Chain A
Amino acid sequence: MERTLVVDDSPTMRRMIIASLREVCTGGFVEAATGLEACEQLALGPVSLIMLDLNMPDMHGLEVLAFVRRHPTLKSLPIIVLTTRGDEASRSTALAAGATLYLTKPFTPQGLAAQVRELLQPA
C-alpha cells in the first residue's frame, strides 16, 4: 500500500485521523491543510487513499473530489469524505461527485479504522 493523504484544515483532526489509521494504512501518511495543498501532494508522490474534509478555506472539498475524478490515472483512487454531522443533501452530493464513502464526525478511532479496513479489502 502506498501513502494515505489526509486532508483537513485542523491539525488536531489530522493527527487524530492518522493515529486512528496507523495500523490499517501501512504505507505512511502525507498531510494537507487546504485543497490546493492536497492537489500538490497528489502531484508529488504516489497515494493509495485520500481522507478528505469538505470544509476548507480555499478549494471546497467537493471541488478537490471533482478534480481528482477528472484525472486520467488518479480518478479511481478510493476517497473517503469525512465531515461534521451530515445532512442528507451533503451526503448525496458528495456521493454523486464521486466519493467512495461518506463518513461523519465525530467518529471513534476503531470505527474509522474498521470502515477503512473494509474498504481496502481486495474485492
Chain B
Amino acid sequence: MSMRKYQRLQMHRIPYTDLTEAQMSEALRPTASGPVSRSALSNVLAGRQLRIVTDGGPVLEYRFRNARELELAENGGRPIRAGYGALEDRSLVLVSHMIPGTQRGYKLIVDQHTGLATVFEVYFSGYAPQEIAAAREAGREPQFRNGRRNREAQRRIWFGYVDRGGPAPTARHTYTNRLEGKGIYWKQDDDIEILEFYLSIIYSNFIELTRFGGELTVCAPSDYIMVNDHQFIYSRIECEFSGIFTLQVIDLFDMTERGVRLGLNEKDELEYSMYTGRGEITGQIATFEVFGNNGETRGPRRVYRPLETFEVMTDEQVRDAVLNKAHAFGDGKGSGAQGMGGYKSELVTHFAGRKLTVRMDDGGPVIEYEFVDARKLRWRYEGDSHWREAWYEMYEPDDRLYFFAHLLDAEFPRSCAMVAFDMKNGLATLVKGTTGSPFRNNETTVKYYFGVLEMEGAPTPPTYLRHGWTDEMVGECVTWNYQPGNPGLTSMHFYATPSAYSWIIFQPDGSGGMQWSSPGWYAKLRDGVYLMSWIEEACNGTLGVICFNQRTMHDAGFGYHVGSRGLSLSVIGARARHAGRFEIRKYLGLKV
C-alpha cells in the first residue's frame, strides 16, 4: 500500500490560472539568474567561447564568463548577459538559460567530442499567436475556450554544430524512435520520483509518484532525439495542464539523467531547476513500425487538446439529451459494426424467454429481468411492481460468462446497467454508469457492485467469494483493433496503475502518435478475465467498460456517452495483441 502524498485535485481537474503576458513576464523574472540545482553545476564551459550554427535557425555566439554567467549574441546582435546552469554527461553538456527581460531562452545540448549541438528555444506566451495563425489558415475563428495558455511553454528545435573554424560536419543529432516502447523509473537528486513511459515518438506519459501520489498517469507532447546509441534527449511540455517544460539527457549506459524543468506549477510558482537522476528500466514493449523505420523523419509533433475540444453542455442540454435523445443499440435494430464494435462477437440470444435476478451486496441494486427476445428485456427493481422495457445486447466473452447492458429509467441524470454474470459459479457484477460528474454535466461516473445471480438452472453462488478489484493488469500493454481494414481503427492500452490507464493512437507508419489518459477501474471475474472500465474525464466524458479475456485476446464491452447528439449506449468489440509489460508494481506500492 502506497503511503505517498496525494493531491486534492489531479492534473486534469486543476483550474490552472490563465495568466496574462504581463503576469508571465513578472513570474519569469527570477529566471534571469539561471536555474537552481541540488547537484553541483558544471564549470566545464567557464572561460570558453562557443559559436553554434544551426540548420535554418539562429547562430548563437556564447562567451561563458564563468560557471554561472554567460554572454550571448544572437545572429550577430548585441550581446546580452544571463545566468546559466550546465550539467555534464560524458562528452555532452546540457546548458540552460533564459534571456533576461524576455519570456524565452535556450537549452543547449553540445557534444564536445563530435561538435554536434541541438538547440531548444523555449518560450512562453506563444500559444495564442500560433492559434490565431492556424485559425487564419484554416479559415476559422481562433478558439480560446480554455484560455490563451500564456503559461504553456513552447519550443523550437534546431540541429547544428559548434563552429570550430573548419569545415562544417555533415552529421546531426536526429529525431528517433529508439526510445519508443521503453519505461524508466527515475529518482532525481531533489527526491522527486517519477515513472516515465516513452510509448510514442511524439508523446510520452508519466506517473508523478512524488508530486501527485502516483494514482494517475498523464500524457504530454514530447520530443525524442538521438545523440548516439546510448544517449538521448527527451523533452515534454505539460500541455493542457501547468504548461511546464522538461528536458532530459538520458544515458542508457549508466542509467542516469541530467535535466531541466522550467515553468509555473499549479500554484503559479516558478520552477526553474536543473537536476540529475538515477534510473531503472521498467520494461521495453513492442513497437510497430516496419524494420528500417527509425523515426528520423517523424513529421510535425501534434498536440492533442481535449480540454479545448470538449463539448461543454448545460444542465438543460444534458437533460434533453438523456430524456429525449437516448438510444441503445440502434433501438433494437442492432448496434452495427461501426466505431469500436467492428469485431463484436456473436450476439447471445439463448436467454430469450428466461428470467434472471442479479443481487448486489451491501444494499446495492437488486434487479429482476425477463429477456423478452434477443434484443428486448423487461426489468424492475426487486419489490417494485412496475416492469420497464429496454433494448439490450448480450455477449459471451468467456465460456458461460455473459455480459449485457441496457439503459435504466428515463430520468435526469440517467444511468445504464452493465451486468456480467457467471453461469459457472453464480457470481455477478453490475457496473452502473451515470451521466454527470461534479466537474461537467456531460461526463459520466461509474460505480461497481459485486454480488450474485439467481436463475433457473444456475449454480448456487458462493457465500463469501465475489468478483473483486484487482491490480493484476498493472503494467500490461495491449493493442486493440476495433475495425477491419488496413489499419482500421487501432489503439494501444497501457494499464498504468490500479486506477488509471492511457491510450496511444498509432500514426500511419505504425509509430506511436498522440495519446491521452484517464482514470480506470479493474475487477477480476476469472483467471485471465477482467472487467476494465474507464471514463474519459475532461476529454469527452465517455464511460467504456470491457470484459477482456486474455486467453482469447478479445473483449466484449459497452460505451456510454452523452453529447449534443444525444445519449448513446453502444457495443465495443475488438481484437487484442499483447505488446508487452512494464514491471512497475513495486514503485506503485503494490505487492510484487
Q: Do A and B come from one complex?
A: no
